[in-house]
Amino acid sequence: RNEDSERTEAQQRREDEAKGRVKDAEKKLKSIGSELSLLQTECRTSADEQKKLLESVARGEMAVQQTRDDRKSRAAAALATKGELKALDGQVAEAQAEVQRRAPDVEAKVVEAAQQLERRDAADSEMQQLDSKQARATQFKSRQERDKHLNKEAAELRTKIKRKEQQAATLQKDLEQAQARQDQSATSASEGRKRLEAERAKAEQARTMCTALRQERDAATDRRKELWRKEQQLGDALKTTTSELDKAQRTLQHTMSRSQWEAVVAVKRIAEEKNIQGCHGMLIELMQIDAKFHTAVEVAAGNQLFQVVVDNDDVAARLLTELQRANA
């Protein structure tokens, strides 16, 4: 009798250990399943985010390429503009040199014209004086000859003065045109420099945007890799836990009769397949008892520990109907 009691206690301990392992494995399996489901959702979300980021990066790279192409075109135009500016600068320098070269002549011509005007005035005054002086009358054969000579000199003097005035006006016009070309060249050069600065700013902005998009893409890729590693770890843990659960269930199976085990398995399968709510599993799986009371509970409850717990009679009736239909 003592040997039977020891065997019973040993069997009871094995059953208790198997029950405990089954409960722990099921809890762990449920926890891992929830965590794995959440991780898979995060992976899908991360994949969607990475796809959007890749699309953004592609658009950014296209924009950068377009900016580069535009920049090349504008650089060619800027090069041509620089050539034009250089030519204009040369023309301006030449005009300035010409102005500087002609400036003394212009000033001299102006001074000469003023002197000629003074001489003309002096000649007119002198001619008037000649009319009033009898001593000069003997110089010419007649008054008409004298007047003719003086008028000729005055006409020649006026012609010279007019020619000098025209030369001065021409030089002044050339000076004004050279100054206008210089101002226009300076304006064109300033506008060209502004366009070049604007293009440089656009190119720098495009490079900054592309760099930021690449950094976001790399961060998303790293996060996705980390999620994949976690998923792999959880998958391995799930396999280990499933193996432990199978082992614990096999141990528990050995503590029950074959018919009992098959009935319990069938009920669980039907409840899962038919999505029957209110079926909670075996009573032994739902109980948590201090180890020192295991033997007492086993002796008191017996096979009732393997009964399936449901919410009400309707659930039990439906399970029974489905079980009978499956066995028919």
* Local mean pLDDT, 10-residue blocks, the chain (328 residues): 62 66 68 69 70 70 71 68 66 64 63 62 59 53 74 79 79 77 74 79 80 80 82 80 74 72 85 88 80 77 81 89 80
- The CA angle 150-106-165, to the nearest 5 degrees, is 35
CB-based contact 283:304 (threshold 8 Å): yes
Domain covering 256-327 in this structure, CATH number = 1.20.1060.20
Strands 279-282 and 308-310: antiparallel
Residue 264's closest CA among 305, 325, 297? 305
Q: State the Cα–Cα distance between residues 28 and 130, nearest whole angstrom.
A: 140
Residue corresponding to tokens 């045109």? 177
For residue 175 the two structure tokens come to: 């000076």
Q: Residue 219 corresponds to which tokens in the numbers above?
A: 């961060």
Both tokens assigned to 174 = 């050339």
C-alpha angle 172-174-175 in degrees, rounded to nearest 5: 60
**Alpha carbon separation from 185 to 15, 91, 190, 192, 269 (Å, rounded):** 102, 9, 9, 10, 92
Q: At what angle do helices 143-254 and 2-132 cross, to 10 degrees?
A: 180
Q: What is the pLDDT of residue 135?
A: 47
* pLDDT for residue 133: 52
How many CA atoms lie less than 13 Å away from 282 in the CB half-sphere? 24
Distances (CA, A) of 225 to 39, 41, 102, 168, 231: 12, 14, 80, 86, 10
Both structure tokens of 190:
């300033």
- What's the pLDDT score for residue 167? 79
For residue range 227-256, list pLDDT tens digits in order: 788 878 877 877 887 787 677 677 666 767
- Domains of the chain, by residue range, sit at 1-139, 161-254, 256-327
Q: What's residue 299's pLDDT?
A: 77
Collapsing DSSP states into helix, strand and coil, what is residue 133?
A: coil
